[in-house]
Amino acid sequence: MDFWAAKAVLDWQIEMGADEAILDAPVDRYDLPQSRAPAPAPAPAPAAAASVASPPPARPPRPAVTDPVAEAQAAAEAASDLGALAAAMEAFEHCDLKAGARRFVFCDGQPGARLMIVGEAPGREEDREGRPFVGRAGQLLDRMLTAIGMGRAAEDIGRAVYITNVLPWRPPENRKPEKAETAMFLPFLQRHIALAAPELLILMGNTPCDALLGRAGITRLRGTWAEVLGIPALPMFHPAYLLRQPQAKREAWADLLAIQARLRAAT
């Protein structure tokens, strides 16, 4: 099969809804290995040798136990700029999500922007394109930011926005990130915020609130300012939630106005 034929087959699979690469062949997990015949018993030792005790067999060394969170902390602290941080995150091998994702998703927008948005994790479109918030939820987010004079593509750094996620790899079927996954990427996220140095943070949804504030329950948290690494942070409904619950756009608009007022007051 040549390149174009293989690409046509892959495109057809994607059109049919197959968006996860698992294995190139099925695995029969009920096909257990056949039991082996018992080994013959050893011949009895001579009487003279029986009186001499043989030394116990040496135990194999225990494998070193790795701490993914500690390794992430060390790698994050060693990153002196955003480029080095991105390289360290992409090289981090302790997260199984990396094996099933297409693209590493680090950020979008302008570093140094006054406003930084932290989402949950890449979705299907983000995994394809390698940028956060580019699907339907991302398009709604862009319209929300435009309504208060902000945007990820703004040339004026005072109106620019910088966007990232808690996780840089897409979870299978867009499931919610697990606690262990969030914990191992939290040091990277904290270093990311410190290097980007925004004036304000928006925490989009429960996952970034749980990671950075240690609290969840976005319906209670939204609209109330908190602090992350000394930076004012406002929890908000995720745009994906607003697509499912359009009646919540009123609260989202109130939060956007609060962000706009805070930015204007700081100028």
What pTM does this model have? Answer: 0.76
Q: What percent of the chain has pLDDT over 70?
A: 83
Q: How far is the CA of 122 from the CAs of 26, 112, 138, 191, in angstroms? A: 28, 22, 11, 19
Residue 98 confidence (pLDDT): 95
* Contacts of 257 by beta carbon, 8 Å cutoff, 6+ apart: 148
Residue 107 confidence (pLDDT): 97
| Mean pLDDT in residue range 139-154 | 96
Q: Are 259 and 148 in contact (CB under 8 A)?
A: yes
Whether 39 has a pLDDT exceeding 70, the answer reads: no
Whether 51 has a pLDDT exceeding 70, the answer reads: no
Whether 217 has a pLDDT exceeding 60, the answer reads: yes
CA quadruple 133, 134, 137, 138: dihedral sign: positive
Residue 12 confidence (pLDDT): 77
| Mean pLDDT in residue range 226-230 | 97
* Contacts of 104 by beta carbon, 8 Å cutoff, 6+ apart: 86, 89, 90, 98, 130, 168, 169
Quote the CA–CA distance of 47 and 234 in Å, as a whole number.
82
Residue 52 confidence (pLDDT): 56
Domains of the chain: 69-266 (3.40.470.10)
Quote the CA–CA distance of 173 and 254 in Å, as a whole number.
32
Q: Which two structure tokens, joined as six digits, stand for 164?
A: 């990232």
Whether 57 has a pLDDT exceeding 60, the answer reads: yes
Residue 50 confidence (pLDDT): 47
Residue 59 confidence (pLDDT): 72
Whether 62 has a pLDDT exceeding 80, the answer reads: no
The string of pLDDT tens digits covering residues 64-78 is 668 999 999 999 999
